[in-house]
Structure 1
Amino acid sequence: MSPTLPAPEIQALIGQHTGELSSLRRTERGFSSDLTALVEGEKGGFFVKAVRNRPGGRRDSLTRERLINPFVSPISPALRWCAEDEDWVVLGFEAVTGRLSDFGPGSPDLPRIVQLLDRVGRLDLPEVARDWPETRWDRFALDETEAELFRGKSLLHTDINPSNLIVGEQNMWAVDWAWPTRGAAFIDPALFVVQLVAAGHTAEGAESWASRCTAWTKADPKAVDAFVGATVRMYRAFAERKPDVPWIKAMEAAAQAWADHRRVVLV
């Protein structure tokens, strides 16, 4: 998030929805946005995400998040308004009170995380998402036959990590639906496994948590193995391009540990 971002421009654009602002506090989350912030105004509090209004991935991701929101509430905070001009696209969500989830071994959050992932897995695939096939792992599969194993009719979040699963006193939310897709139901639980290993779990222990998700129990082991191999190759490619980014190396190591556990042969 750039410290030189012209916040007054954002305030002028969203003022019709918020009223006069009393505070704007930037958040640490929001790697794919130019601005994420909690704002307080005459009309209440909101969580806002803003990106420059330019063609391409970040604008497209905000468009998907706007379109999918009615179908993922109340698992995700409700979208209250959107605003756009020549320079900015902004979404204003219901502000919820919570903290980042803890994926570490022994975390009391883990049972609730599994329950939330199971709720995500039971969401119906809306018509708007039928033209959003999941293809990001295809180029890391060994061949088209493997890539075909990632196809499916389930709505996927595809960015399962501690900062996107928010823990409240009574509720939990899956936030940042920036790139929802249609694919095989096991993919979200599989992403959970990689994150658990990166957080310090053994691969066997991580799979034991994923096995509590209905989508995981119904998965074809061959499809899971293909996905594990593709995930290792994906993070390996990312690490080669950005060797000095610690989180990428950590995810590569976690995926490799999982592949070793499943005895997936990498070529």
Structure 2
Amino acid sequence: MDTDLPESAILPLIEEHTGSVTAIRRTERGFSSDLTAVVDCDRGPFFVKAMRNRPGGRRDSLSRERRINAHLGHISPPLLWDVEAEDWLVLGFDVIDGRSADFAPESPDLALVVDAIGEIGRLSLPRIAQDWCETRWDRFTADSSEAEWFRGDSLLHTDINPSNLIVVKRRVWAVDWAWPTRGAGFIDPALLVLQLIAAGHTPGDAEKWAERLPAWRTAVPQAIDAFAAANLRMYRAAVDRKPDADWLKAMVDACRAWTDHRGATPE
């Protein structure tokens, strides 16, 4: 095995937990980590996420995922062990053998996905998350007063997409808690709406799914309008940085369809 690869670097760090390792199989998911893989071993298998132990957002996101896991009940695979060494931070999770949720119209997964997001919405905000205020959309609002709509005391996943909602039989697991925050409860349902539109739903039909969730039903409409417009500005800015990324262009189209539907399209 190439000694420059993360697999070789973390192997001596994790063997205390894994026993003898027979294979490290990289997964398709996990773009924010230096390594995401299934480790086949004497005591496993385990799903492993590893990050170089350097200060910054990506390392901090893995640290948050480590800290929040114990507070997620049965909605997320349990963290079974972790290792923090001078050069690496490694998390070892139970393996969930499933598939990404299908967000397409008429998908049988949709009710399961909505139930999972409802379960997230019922989680209590743990003390460790009190200072994790949601601010990433603030700079894309029309003014600072709009950003106040995004404040709240709900624990948020904030990365709702098909790859992070894993279907196993008739159950959905929410994975990749890379950046949990404290904010307004409607945000996760709103992110679902945006992803449903991107998957082919009309904005009206996408919002009908969100209407099953209490946090959406009790949200102030102007708050949802501001959030939809902020996402459009955010994805437009992302396309300006990466003009060849087709998926970002698709998200701009989804955001525009949503803001047009709500009469909230920014200039």
Which category describes the TM-score, using the shorter chain as reference length? over 0.9
Q: Partners in 1 of 2:166 and 2:6 — Cα distance? A: 28
Shift of 1:73: 2.6
- TM-score, reference length from structure 2: 0.97
Partner in structure 2 of residue 18 of structure 1: 18
Partner in structure 2 of residue 246 of structure 1: 246
Partner in structure 2 of residue 226 of structure 1: 226
Summarize the alignment of residues 89-128 of structure 1 with structure 2, pairs less than 5 Å apart. 89-128=89-128
On the 8 A contact 2:112/2:170 being kept in 1, the answer is: no
On the 8 A contact 2:10/2:88 being kept in 1, the answer is: yes
Summarize the alignment of residues 62-141 of structure 1 with structure 2, pairs less than 5 Å apart. 62-141=62-141
- Deviations, residues 64-108 of structure 1 (Å, cap 9, x unaligned): 000100001310000000112222110000111111100011100
Partner in structure 2 of residue 184 of structure 1: 184
Partner in structure 1 of residue 235 of structure 2: 235
Q: Partners in 1 of 2:89 and 2:173 — Cα distance? A: 23
Instruction: Look up the equivalent residue of 2:181 and give its one-letter code.
Output: T
Q: Partners in 2 of 1:81 and 1:265 — Cα distance? A: 46
Summarize the alignment of residues 11-50 of structure 1 with structure 2, pairs less than 5 Å apart. 11-50=11-50
Shift of 1:22: 1.6
Q: Partners in 2 of 1:27 and 1:42 — Cα distance? A: 20
Q: Partners in 2 of 1:37 and 1:205 — Cα distance? A: 36
Q: Partners in 2 of 1:170 and 1:15 — Cα distance? A: 34
Partner in structure 2 of residue 174 of structure 1: 174
SS at match of 2:106: coil
Shift of 1:172: 1.6
Structure 2 stretches lacking a partner, 5+ long = none
Q: Partners in 2 of 1:34 and 1:206 — Cα distance? A: 34
Structure 1 stretches lacking a partner, 5+ long = none
Shift of 1:12: 1.3
Instruction: Look up the equivalent residue of 2:224 and give its one-letter code.
Output: V
Q: Partners in 1 of 2:35 and 2:9 — Cα distance? A: 12
Q: What CA RMSD, in Å, does the superposition of the two structures yield over aligned residues?
A: 1.2
Q: Partners in 1 of 2:243 and 2:198 — Cα distance? A: 17
Shift of 1:265: 3.8
Shift of 1:171: 2.6
Shift of 1:170: 4.1
SS at match of 2:45: strand
Partner in structure 2 of residue 260 of structure 1: 260
Shift of 1:6: 3.6
Percent of counterpart pairs with the same letter? 61
